[in-house]
């Protein structure tokens, strides 16, 4: 004959264990949702950081490799590099020789890196408010300083700065020399 302890759980023991399980679930549920919300926020921030790193790398790779190739046009030697607050046009060392490239504001909301071959867009970045500025000498006698635009046809700027309200300023050294 079995004793009454060997028959299994009593109803009271079952109710106590279910109550303890419910209390544990009540305590864990908010922490699980908080953890999920935190991971979503971190994921969103990592996406923004990844986009910023991609943007800065593309900007640095493109502008630091700008070519200082002189060409004759009506007996004057000129360099293909122009810049304004919103647009830069320059020569880039392409696979088949120098390529004309352009960085510009498109559709009032994107900054576009244009490869210049049949107007194919390389990458677009959401960008509402930004500005390029250029550091260098406007003439051979002038001291170098920051300028809002670069229309000098006989030299490249020494530095190009990208400024935006949403990003920290990025300053790029132009490596080309004549």
Q: Which phi and psi (to 5°) does residue 48 adopt?
A: -65, -45
What pLDDT, in 10s, does the model give residues 68-82?
Answer: 776 666 656 577 888
Other beta carbons less than 10 A from residue 88's beta carbon: 24
The CA radius of gyration of the chain, in Å to the nearest whole number, is 31
Contact between 137 and 159 under an 8 Å Cβ cutoff? The reply is: no
Domain boundaries, the chain: 11-90+127-178
What pLDDT, in 10s, does the model give residues 104-122?
Answer: 888 878 888 887 655 555 6
Pairwise CA distance, residues 7 & 172, whole Å? 80
Encoding tokens for residue 88? 């830069």
Most confident of 99-103, 119-123, 127-131, 158-162: 158-162
What pLDDT, in 10s, does the model give residues 48-97?
Answer: 889 888 888 988 988 888 887 766 666 565 778 889 999 999 888 878 88
Which residues 6+ apart lie within 8 Å of 131 measured at CB?
85, 86, 148, 162, 163, 164
Other beta carbons less than 10 A from residue 7's beta carbon: 8
């Amino acid at each position: 004959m079995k004793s009454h302890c060997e028959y299994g759980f009593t109803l009271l023991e079952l109710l106590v264990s279910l109550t303890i399980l419910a209390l544990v679930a009540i305590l864990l549920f908010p922490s699980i949702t908080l953890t999920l919300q935190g991971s979503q926020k971190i994921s969103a921030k990592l996406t923004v950081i990844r986009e910023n790193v991609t943007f800065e790398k593309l900007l640095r790779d493109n502008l630091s490799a700008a070519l200082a190739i002189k060409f004759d046009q009506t007996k004057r030697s000129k360099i293909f590099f122009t810049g304004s607050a919103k647009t830069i046009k320059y020569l880039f060392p392409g696979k088949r020789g120098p390529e004309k490239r352009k960085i510009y504001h498109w559709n009032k909301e994107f900054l576009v890196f244009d490869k210049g071959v049949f107007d194919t867009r390389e990458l677009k970045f959401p960008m509402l408010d930004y500005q390029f500025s250029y550091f260098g000498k406007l003439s051979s006698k002038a001291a170098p300083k920051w300028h809002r635009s670069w229309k000098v046809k006989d030299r490249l700027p020494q530095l190009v700065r990208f400024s935006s309200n949403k990003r920290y300023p990025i300053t790029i050294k132009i490596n080309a020399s004549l």
